[in-house]
Amino acid sequence: MKKYGLLLRQPQQKKPPRPPLPTALGFGEEEEDDVEKEISRQAAKKKSLKDFDRDEAENCSAKALDRQKRESKYIKTLMGKVEERKRQHDVIFEKNLAKERIKDDHLFADKDKFVTAAYKRKLAEQEKWMEEERLRELREEKEDVTKKSDLSDFYFNLGKNVALGAKDLLAKKQEKQDNQTEFKK
């Protein structure tokens, strides 16, 4: 596209001068100082590479040890919850099976019933777990703060609060033992 009017020339940008070409090996000015400088430079480079390699090896071994030592914070609690849900599921499944057996019981009334020892142990464990669950629910219901009408529990537990100067349970036990040993002497 042509431009009309007064056109000013743009100053040409000069290219930066090329650096001089290096001289071929064996043809340049060689002084003993340059050789010694080159030797010391190469030695320093090798030393720094060795240090770098050693540091990398230490870091890798430290990372590997760190991986072995680390344990997850929450996996144990999650696995406990999984076991609890599995127990709940098993109990529900067994209750459903028992209901089905009751419906079909009249068909097999004259037949003998066999129960293995492992199944008996499983039923006993389920009964024990159900009892523990019932006690836990009763305890939670008793300690429910939304159903409290007064602050008596608050003041009762205030004496146990370590932040307010109460001694923790282990310190109290230790103090009792010390008092008993002094009393016996």
Q: Evaluate whether residue 22 is within a structural domain.
A: no
Confidence at 81, pLDDT banded by 50, 70, 90? very high
Residue 60 lies in a domain: yes
d(CA 22, CA 41): 19
Q: Are residues 79 and 58 in the same domain?
A: no
Asked if residue 108 and residue 65 are part of one domain, the reply reads: no
64 and 76 share one domain: no
What Rg value do the Cα atoms of the chain yield, rounded?
42
In one-letter notation, the amino acid at residue 175 is E
Q: Is the pLDDT of residue 138 over 80?
A: yes
pTM above 0.75, yes or no: no
What whole-number distance in Å separates Cα of residue 84 and Cα of residue 20?
80
Looking at the fold, whether 91 and 126 belong to one and the same domain comes out as yes
Residue 82 and residue 113 share a domain: yes
pLDDT over 70 for what percent of the chain?
Answer: 83
> Would you say residue 87 lies in a domain?
yes
Total domains, the chain: 2
pLDDT of 115-124, one tens digit each?
899 989 988 9
User: Considering the domain boundaries, does residue 150 fall inside one?
Assistant: no
Domain that holds residue 83: 72-143
d(CA 133, CA 124): 14
Please tell me whether residues 57 and 85 are part of one structural domain.
Answer: no
What is the percentage of the chain residues whose pLDDT exceeds 90? 14
Which range of 58-67, 108-117, 170-179 scores highest in mean pLDDT? It is: 108-117
Q: 97 with 53, same domain?
A: no
